[in-house]
Every structure is written in structure tokens, then in C-alpha cells.
Structure 1
Amino acid sequence: MAFRIITISFDNEREVFPDNDLNAFLLDKKVNNYRVEFFINAGRTYWSVFLEYEEIEDRSVEKLT
């Protein structure tokens, strides 16, 4: 089992947490456990996701390039 922490800063102009990197990372993973935390540092808002996952092999899934 592997672990990863992904931290995303809030995009004030679009008013969203951009999730492209998170979605791309999870394309070939099976998430076994996760924990989400929000925090503010130096006036900026962040969303941090701790992931416990396993790699999956699915040849039908195309990876983003």
C-alpha cells in the first residue's frame, strides 16, 4: 500500500479548488482510505488530501499527458 498527500490552493478568481491534478493522479489508483483537511496559511486557503491507495492495472484507461 502506498500513501500520498496532495495539497491544492483555492483559486479565488474561479472560486474553486482546481482538482485536475488530483483526478489525473487517481486514474489508475484504488483508494483504500483518505482524509481531507482545510487550512489557511499566510491568508491563503488550502485543501489537503491524504490518500492511502493501491496501483491498479487497467489497460482500458488512458492516462492524461
Structure 2
Amino acid sequence: MLLRGMKEAHHFFESMTNARSIINYYTSGPFLHLNDVTAAKRYYHEWQKKHGTEQRWAIFEKI
């Protein structure tokens, strides 16, 4: 059971290959309450404040 869960997690993380795949995942379900634009903007700004100085953040700016 643990091995199966680890394989599923591994497959999931392999499928997240770029910013677009992450966004598509979160917008495909009720995750992060994305129907609430105010909350979505708050999450975005919190992530930007925390991780905005990292080079990898630039991938989100291109979307």
C-alpha cells in the first residue's frame, strides 16, 4: 500500500513539468478556492513575496 502511494506521488510529480501544468492542475479542481478571485490573488502575492526573488519564479511571470 505504501509503495503504491509512493508510485502515485512519483507519477504526479513527474507530470508537473512546468508552470502551466501546475496551473492547469490547480484550476481543474476546487483547489485553493480559485473561484474566489480575491483569495487567488492573495495566494499569488503571498507566494511571490516568499519566492519572488528565486530565479524559478520567472516562469510564473511568463504565463
TM-score by length of 1: 0.29
Normalized per residue, which structure has more strand? 1
Normalized per residue, which structure has more helix? 2
State the structure with bigger RCO (CA 8 A, min sep 6), 1 or 2: 1
